[in-house]
Structure 1
Amino acid sequence: MTTPGRRMVIAAYDDAELLEISCVTSVLDTANRQGASPPYEARLATPEGRPVRCASGLVLASQAALEKIRGPADSLIIVGGRGHRAAAGNARFVEHVRRLAKVSRRVASVCTGASVLAEAGLLDGRRATTHWSIAGELAARHPEIDVDPAPLYIRDGRISTAAGVTSALDLTLAFVEEDHGPALARSVARMMVTYLQRPGNQAQISMFVAAPVPGHRTVQQVVEHITAALDHDLGVPALAERAGVSERHLTRLFLDHLGQTPARFVRTARTEAASHLLVSSELPLSAVARRCGFRSTETLRQAFLDRYGTTPSQHRAIHGSTS
């Protein structure tokens, strides 16, 4: 007798992001091969069951017409991509997402797929994330949503939103852990050679791989100094003196070009650098704190709690090398 599967509906449209689709489906397939019971039954659903041309140019065959799918479903997952605005503006597509959401145990979006959930009213009164590049647009268009552009993913009740692209993998692994336990989720992560247990509240963008500072030489010079000299005096007076501007002017420049004060930027840079040292080295916490410019291990601890919701020791225990 065949074991009934968990019905996972992945809704896509033209100009969807292929990697987001494959992250979800590959995690589910790997979970099945690692013994998920009941297994997952993933189906790609598209408008009228037509093939969809992904943003990369590749064409994917549909497995179901979105309009013909009836509940119940275990999970409904809306992917993102360049076509998200057209999808969110398609009243018929949005209505079928709304209909299926009512008969699904879980509902999720990946990346700009949050636009579709927002148009369907499914994020009203909830905290949600999306790709950092459209977070402002989503918040302005839907003030009823508490948009947080920082985390990799957010789970608010039965509704989940993921930041974009490979965060689809993180969210789907979290679903596997919820459904089948942490041992299977770890097994899937190992098979996929991916980051194990990357927490949802981890920042979308590391400051060390963020986009270049937009077109202001003074800000760029100060940022370069901060990231290269974390253990120096990086107070606003010292930074302003180095830049040859007033403290008030430097703060205004940072707010205009980076959306945060110099002090907040420094704290974030130091915390991220500390997180890398904790994972990649066996330095004691006191040495990590000193190298990254924190006055004490307690200051480091508080910074970690504020940014990651965990302590430095817990971060190292979870993410550090086990070799």
Structure 2
Amino acid sequence: MPKKTAKLHSVVFFIYPGVKLLDLAGPLQVFNDATDQLSGAQTYRTALVSADGAEVATDTPVSVRSEPAAQWCNPIDTLVVVGGRGAQAASRNAVVVDTLKRLANRSHRIASICTGAFLLGAAGLLEGRRAVTHWRYCTDLARDHPETRVDTNPIFIRDGHIWTSAGVTAGIDLALALVQQDLGRDASLSIARDLVVFAVRSGGQDQFSTTLHSQVSDQSSRFDKLHAWMQENLHDDLSVEALSDRVGMSPRNFARQYQASTGSTPAKAVEAMRVEAARRYLEETDLTVVRVAEICGFRSDERMRKSFIRTLGVPPHDYRRQFQGEVSSTPHDEES
């Protein structure tokens, strides 16, 4: 007797002129690469739809074909609204917004990539919800949709059956999180490995990495190699004396040159890197606070507690509880 074919989970990408190609291609690739861990069978059926079904221009020379949204009469498992330069114009287009509303009414789960959140807002899907978009446009989203609680920090947010993400590559993180919800963590990690994704990032992580911020601040690139080494050796001695010795400078001259180049003292830069690393451990592992403090170079959990309070306003134990609470239950979770 032949095996019964499992129902494919439908993922519909809603696109419009001016979408960002990577906002579309990254998440699309994640879903197309997802297979059942036991049988190897495809688990998702993907489609690109637009209001009129025409060929859609992206922000690159590449255009993509789409299907007319009117053809989709069946329930949709996951609806993904892609971001891009054309998002705000599309959010003011009544035909596009009405089409999105009809698709959303048939969708079990809805997600936006980057500025796709503007279309969700225009369709009334973010009212009373917490959401995020690309950091450049968070202020605009909050202004256009004051009924939405816009959080500028996370790379993605789940509020009930609505998911929103920050810009560009955060769409891949969001797609991996959706796969994890559907198929489990092992399936998500397997796709990440195949795509050579450096790390599977949780939604609570900041859009800005401390190391990247240091690189942007240091316009001369003078301390790029030092920053990379610091990030990989947080448990080592990162005092001014040790760092100055590493770059072959006197402690006083190093401290002066470092602040002139980056706008921060070496001590503050080290603390920021250690706090960022500790946050990831608290978000993604069950390691004790004492162990996290040791790994990240704080030397004691009390020193880490003081750093957390100084930089984040909460101690590590409360941060972990707050973070876990945000991702596991939200005001609208009863809808999901």
Q: Provide the TM-score with structure 2 as the length reference.
A: 0.68
The one of 43, 46, 67 equivalent to 1:42 is: 46
Asked whether 1:285 is paired with 2:296, we answer no
Q: Residue deviations 1:78-136, cap 9 Å, x none?
A: 00001111111111111111111111110010000000000000000000000000000
What code does the residue aligned with 1:192 have? L
Distance 1:174 1:286, change over 3 A: closer
Aligned CA-pair RMSD: 3.8
- In the other structure, the counterpart of 1:178 is 181
Distance (whole Å) between structure 1 residues aligned to residue 303 and residue 97 of structure 2: 52
Shift of 1:179: 1.0
Q: How many residues align?
A: 269
Distance (whole Å) between structure 1 residues aligned to residue 179 and residue 63 of structure 2: 28
- In the other structure, the counterpart of 1:91 is 94
Gaps of 5+ in 2: 218-226, 232-236, 241-254, 257-262, 285-290, 309-314, 325-336
- In the other structure, the counterpart of 1:296 is 303
Aligned residue for 2:112, secondary structure, equals strand
Distance (whole Å) between structure 1 residues aligned to residue 23 and residue 137 of structure 2: 17
What code does the residue aligned with 2:90 have? A
**Correspondence 1:64-143 to 2 at 5 A:** 64-143=67-146
Aligned residue for 1:71, secondary structure, equals coil
**Contact map agreement 1:289 1:296 (CA 8 A) in 2:** no
Distance (whole Å) between structure 2 residues aligned to residue 276 and residue 154 of structure 1: 16
Shift of 1:68: 2.9
- In the other structure, the counterpart of 2:312 is none
Shift of 1:198: 1.1
- In the other structure, the counterpart of 1:55 is 59
Aligned residue for 1:209, secondary structure, equals helix
Distance 1:203 1:47, change over 3 A: same
What code does the residue aligned with 2:55 have? P
Distance (whole Å) between structure 2 residues aligned to residue 61 and residue 3 of structure 1: 27
Asked whether 1:271 is paired with 2:275, we answer yes
Gaps of 5+ in 1: 214-223, 233-241, 244-257, 259-263, 312-323
What code does the residue aligned with 2:94 have? A
Q: Residue deviations 1:238-296, cap 9 Å, x none?
A: xxxx99xxxxxxxxxxxxxx9xxxxx9996455126669999xxx983473448x9962
**Correspondence 1:155-174 to 2 at 5 A:** 155-174=158-177
**Contact map agreement 1:270 1:294 (CA 8 A) in 2:** no
Shift of 1:71: 2.8
Distance (whole Å) between structure 2 residues aligned to residue 308 and residue 60 of structure 1: 43
Distance (whole Å) between structure 1 residues aligned to residue 323 and residue 271 of structure 2: 16
**Contact map agreement 1:277 1:288 (CA 8 A) in 2:** no
Shift of 1:144: 0.3
Aligned residue for 1:296, secondary structure, equals helix
The one of 18, 22, 42 equivalent to 2:21 is: 18
Distance (whole Å) between structure 2 residues aligned to residue 41 and residue 284 of structure 1: 41
Q: Residue deviations 1:64-84, cap 9 Å, x none?
A: 112332230101100000111
- In the other structure, the counterpart of 2:311 is none
What code does the residue aligned with 2:196 have? V
**Correspondence 1:222-301 to 2 at 5 A:** 268=272, 270-272=274-276, 285-286=293-294, 288-290=296-298, 296-299=303-306
Aligned residue for 1:81, secondary structure, equals coil
Q: Provide the TM-score with structure 1 as the length reference.
A: 0.71
Q: Residue deviations 1:137-156, cap 9 Å, x none?
A: 11011110000010010000
Deviates more, 1:300-309 or 1:158-167: 300-309
Distance 1:296 1:90, change over 3 A: same
**Contact map agreement 2:11 2:46 (CA 8 A) in 1:** yes
